[in-house]
Amino acid sequence: MKKRNIYISQPSMGQEEWEALKEPIFSGWVTQGPKVKEFEQLFAERHKVKYAFAVTSCTTGLHLALAALDIQAGDEVIIPAFTWVATANVVLYCGATPVFVDIDPKTFNIDPAKVKEKVSEKTKAIIPVHLFGLCADIDAIKEAAPGIAIVEDAACAAGAGYKGKPAGSLGDMASFSFHPRKSITTGEGGMVTTNDDALAEKLNMLRNHGASISEEQRHHGPKPYILPAFEVMGYNYRMTDLQGALGVVQFGKLDQFIEERDKWAAFYKKELADLEWLQVPEFSVDYSHGWQSFACLIHEDKAPHSRNKIMELLQERGISTRPGTHAVHMLDYYANNFGFKPEDFPGAQIANDCSIAIPLHNKMSEEDYKYVVDVLKNEIK
């Protein structure tokens, strides 16, 4: 079989996205404006929320959400130990303390059974991560920590669902990512969602320097030369209309992209089921997976090689892979400043050392998928 060069992820963009950029370029409105607003409205409708606010990244969106909750020094925020580092960093941005909870290696998501023991009188929020596009068990988390604000880290979960409800509508707020490794992309960029009127008002001001009205509202108002009031300290976390124009086009393909990924994820699961050393994603009918990536767990006691060696062998055969993500408590900054040891969160440690994401994206062909399966089944020995 011919050797291929299959990327771990590749954005699916083309002529339609190229053409979409013309409108903001030729209109001259390239900062946050009508295309961002259109993108926000489409996103809110699909995810069944009242409000969606486009921002510069999922990271800044999470920061905004915590700022809107007035998280500050002395507060604690519960987060999973296995996630992208930004989930923890945004807590520190607010001067608060991230409190790590171990994950379930079967789902890679926060273990609700371990949440309850970490709740204290200082706990002001929980950030459950819908890792790789699989929603966290929000009902169990709410039961474990009743009355605690929930901010969904939905970076990977555009279009995903839990018990018939879309990601982004499950907690008090949520933040999504449009990084190129996500199912739809605007390059960089993110979206914050909420159904809470008061939080929405805060989010809208905070992302725009704390201004009482947006630049678009001021520009189209009766006195565009009068600056808005600034009653709170905010941030410049606004998405550009160039990104908004891309987002509108990409969003129109979201469900198609997920449907295609779902088909090939099912193919992977069926074809790789006999590899006893590879744990493929499994979840109940309560979940609608967003398939940001196809993350597996290698059982090194059964595998022919270590996780890293298997990744190396796949790369030699033209198949790009990545660790799922990292255990934040094992990263130098957090280990050195908080005194964590790898074994403090054994589920996250296993996921850190043994998870592997194999290619799953909308630029792959049927032959690509078959090649990945063939190599895993017949050449990794």
What's at 358, amino acid-wise?
I
Residue type, 3: K
Rounded CA-CA distance 364/70 in Å is 44
73 half-sphere exposure, CB direction, 13 A CA radius: 1
Indicate whether 30 pLDDT > 80.
yes
**Residue ranges matching CATH 3.40.640.10 in the chain:** 15-251
Tens of pLDDT, residue by residue over 322-370, are: 999 999 999 999 999 999 999 999 999 999 999 999 999 999 999 999 9
Q: What is the mean pLDDT of residues 234-262?
A: 98
% of the chain surpassing 90 pLDDT? 93
Catalytic, out of 35, 114, 124, 182 = 182
Task: Give the C-alpha separation, 146 to 123, whole Å.
Answer: 11
DSSP per-residue string spanning 249-305: HHHTTHHHHHHHHHHHHHHHHHHTTT-TTEE-----TTEE---S-EEEEE-TTTSSS
Residues forming CATH 3.90.1150.10 domain(s) in the chain: 254-378
pLDDT reading at 275 higher than 60? yes
Q: How many helices (H) and strands (E) does the chain have?
A: 15, 15
Task: Please say whether the beta carbons of 154 and 84 come within 8 A.
Answer: no
Active-site residue flag, 377: no
Q: Does 14 have pLDDT greater than 70? A: yes
The pLDDT value recorded for residue 217 is 60
The two beta strands, 103-104 and 109-110, are: antiparallel
Residue 303: how many other CB atoms lie within 10 Å: 17
Q: What is the pLDDT of residue 214?
A: 63
Band of the pLDDT at 206, cuts 50, 70, 90? very high
Q: Is the CB of residue 164 less than 8 Å from the CB of residue 187?
A: no
- Give the pLDDT mean for 319-323: 98
Give CATH superfamily name and number for 254-378.
Answer: Aspartate Aminotransferase, domain 1 (3.90.1150.10)
CATH topology of domain 15-251: Aspartate Aminotransferase; domain 2 (3.40.640)
What is the model's pLDDT at position 229?
79
Q: Is the pTM of this model over 0.85?
A: yes
Query: What average pLDDT score do residues 127-142 get?
Result: 98
Residue type, 104: D
pLDDT in tens, 210-225: 887 666 665 565 666 5
d(CA 97, CA 95) in angstroms, rounded, equals 7
Burial of 320 (0-12, 13-18, 19+ CB in 10 A): middle
- Looking at the chain, the whole-number percentage of residues with pLDDT higher than 70 is 96
Per the prediction, the chain carries an average pLDDT of: 95
Instruction: Specify whether the CB–CB gap between 345 and 81 falls below 8 A.
Output: yes
Q: Give CA–CA dist 135/112, Å, rounded.
A: 13
Type of residue numbered 362 = N
Q: Letter for the amino acid at 48? A: K
**pLDDT at position 232:** 87
* Encoded amino acid at 199, one letter: L
pLDDT value of residue 228: 72
Cα(275)–Cα(124) distance, integer angstroms: 43
In this structure, are residues 166 and 116 in contact, taking their beta carbons and an 8 Å threshold?
no
Task: Indicate whether 4 pLDDT > 90.
Answer: no
**Res 118 pLDDT > 60:** yes
Q: What is the DSSP letter of 82?
A: B
Question: Which residues, other chains included, contact 359 with Cβ-Cβ below 8 Å and sequence gap of 6+?
Answer: 6, 7, 8, 9, 294, 319, 320, 321, 368, 372
pLDDT of residue 213: 66
